[in-house]
Amino acid sequence: MRHRDATNADLDLLAGWNRHLNEDERAEKLLGVEQLRERMRGFLAGEYRAVIFEEAGAPVGYALFRPDENGIHLRQLFVDRAQRRRGVGRRIVERLRAEIFPRDVRVTVEVLVHNDAALAFWRAGGFVDHALALVRRS
């Protein structure tokens, strides 16, 4: 697996994947691809870094993250739907920890409580529950 930093030339790919991520996690508000493209442009122009992972020369997923006061905030991790259930996500996390993130840094991810697949993935990778945000609508 190879990786490279995403650039503005990757905005269409990232926006499409971000749309799939929102669908997969059953986000409350689905943004259009153009809105996601512009939001991603803002992330890349700001404090976030996006890394695209490739296998056999083809992109298979990405991670979007930034440093925060506690270490690294991993905002998004996405594996292309056609590449799932093959260990790609696990290898991406391993690559992030071994080559991209500073050593021995705390990594925080947020997962929607109804996203059972994501919860199982992160817990299998050694992540533990830390906080629960409660929301009241209306």
Domains in the chain, please, with CATH? 2-124 (3.40.630.30)
Report whether 72 contacts 106 (CB < 8 A): yes
Q: Three-state SS across 71-124?
A: EEEEEEEEECHHHCCCCHHHHHHHHHHHHHCCCCCCEEECCCCCCHHHHHHHHH
Please state the pTM of the whole predicted model: 0.91
CA 43, CA 29: separation in Å to the nearest integer?
19
Count the neighbouring beta carbons within 10 Å of the beta carbon of residue 124. 10
| pLDDT tens-place values along the chain, 138 residues long | 999 999 999 999 999 999 998 898 887 788 888 999 999 999 999 999 999 999 999 999 999 999 999 999 999 999 999 999 999 999 999 999 999 999 899 999 999 888 899 999 999 999 999 998 888 887
pLDDT computed for residue 135 by the predictor? 86
pLDDT computed for residue 25 by the predictor? 84
Residues forming a β-bridge with 62: 52, 78
